[in-house]
């Protein structure tokens, strides 16, 4: 399957467009993210055993599924590497990472974030892919990433498909999320991250949040992205906000903007940050 897929894109010429992203840029962007996921799963499965999973009420089947996900990510890295070389490019190497988990629960929680972000990354980058063969290849990866995300949600008693649509993120937004897990890189990713946004809960129901980020002031807004929906709320002087009532349980991204208009490169102050709205809030 790997070599057949590589053959799809082998002879495809690269095209430069006015927005400065070539198809090769997008392939290396995808490889940057796949390296991160591949390393994450390999390190986690070296650290934790099936018995460790069982001690957290996750049976051996779950552990086996994690091994399968790890194999998928390794295959994605190999495929993208081959495709980039076949197109005459230089595949980016892996970076050094700081995942920060200390137990199985933390490993599973971070896996959920990585897979969810992976889906948003491919969805957001699709618009820049000009060659139909590359676009098809990316689509065959993102559907698998979405299955990973659904599985990881289901084992923690969350909806495997909370919304009718997924949430695309821009390249800058994804690199902002991924950047917090990268300690150093032997190359310049070439994509500017936004300021880091930290979200903490301030109420038992988890419907009130505190946002921490650089360059805060009293005239900024928190934009919530979930599914294909967006809504905003003005940020209080102490950085506190309430989760809008129209958001039901599920994954959301929060972005701080300098005005009450949809997030764009011209008005994003910080973020995105990931937040999971609990089912009983």
**Predicted model pTM:** 0.90
- CA-wise closest residue to 52 among 99, 108, 109: 108
**Under CATH, what is the fold of the domain 2-169?**
Ferritin (1.20.1260)
CATH number of the 198-277 domain: 2.60.40
d(CA 182, CA 177): 10
Taking the C-alpha atoms of 149, 153, 159 and 164 in order, what is their torsion angle to the nearest 10 degrees? -10
The reply to whether 198-277 shares the fold of 2-169 is no
70 in Cβ contact with 46 (< 8 Å): no
Q: Map out the domains of the chain as residue ranges.
A: 2-169, 198-277
CA angle 108, 154, 272 (to 5 degrees): 60
Give 102-122 as a DSSP string.
-SHHHHHHHHHHHHHHHHHHH
The residue with tokens 């973020």 is: 271
pLDDT of the chain, 281 residues: tens digit per residue: 233 333 333 333 344 444 578 999 999 999 999 999 999 999 999 999 999 999 999 988 999 999 999 999 999 999 999 999 999 999 999 999 999 999 999 999 999 999 999 999 999 999 999 999 999 999 999 999 999 999 999 998 888 998 999 999 999 999 999 999 999 999 988 899 999 999 999 887 778 999 999 989 889 999 999 999 999 999 998 999 999 988 877 889 999 999 999 999 999 999 999 998 876 54
DSSP output for 82-93: HHHHHTT--PPP
Ramachandran angles phi, psi of 231, nearest 5°: -155, 160
Q: Give the pLDDT score at 10.
A: 36
Q: Which two tokens stand for residue 173?
A: 């937004």
pLDDT of 48 reads: 98
Q: Which residues of 192-205 are buried (b: 16+ CB within 10 A; e: fewer)?
A: ebbeebebeeeeee
Q: How far apart are CA 118 and CA 112, in angstroms?
A: 10
d(CA 49, CA 214): 40
Q: Please name every residue paired with 211 in a beta bridge, in sequence order, or none if there are none.
A: 199
């Amino acid at each position: 399957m790997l070599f057949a897929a590589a053959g799809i894109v082998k002879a495809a010429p690269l095209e430069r467009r006015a927005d400065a992203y070539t198809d090769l840029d997008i392939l290396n962007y995808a490889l940057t993210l796949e390296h991160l996921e591949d390393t994450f799963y390999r390190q986690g499965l070296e650290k934790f055993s099936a018995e460790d999973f069982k001690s957290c009420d996750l049976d051996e089947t779950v552990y086996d599924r994690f091994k399968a996900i790890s194999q998928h990510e390794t295959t994605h890295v190999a495929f993208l590497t081959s495709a980039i070389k076949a197109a005459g490019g230089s595949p980016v190497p892996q970076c050094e990472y700081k995942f920060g988990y200390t137990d199985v629960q933390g490993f599973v929680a971070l896996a959920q974030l990585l897979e969810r972000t992976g889906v948003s990354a491919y969805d957001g980058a699709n618009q820049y892919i000009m060659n139909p063969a590359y676009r098809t290849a990316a689509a065959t990866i993102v559907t698998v990433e979405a299955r990973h995300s659904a599985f990881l949600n289901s084992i923690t008693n969350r909806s495997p498909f909370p919304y009718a649509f997924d949430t695309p993120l821009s390249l800058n937004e994804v690199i902002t999320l991924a950047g917090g897990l990268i300690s150093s890189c032997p190359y310049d990713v070439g994509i500017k991250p936004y300021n880091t946004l930290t979200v903490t809960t301030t109420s038992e129901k988890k419907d009130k949040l505190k946002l921490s980020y650089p360059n805060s002031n009293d005239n900024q807004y928190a934009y919530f992205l979930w599914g294909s929906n967006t809504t905003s709320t003005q940020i209080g002087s102490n950085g506190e906000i309430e989760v809008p009532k129209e958001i039901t349980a599920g994954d959301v991204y929060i972005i701080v903007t300098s005005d009450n208009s949809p997030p764009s490169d011209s008005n994003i102050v910080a973020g995105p940050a990931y937040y999971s709205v609990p089912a009983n809030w």
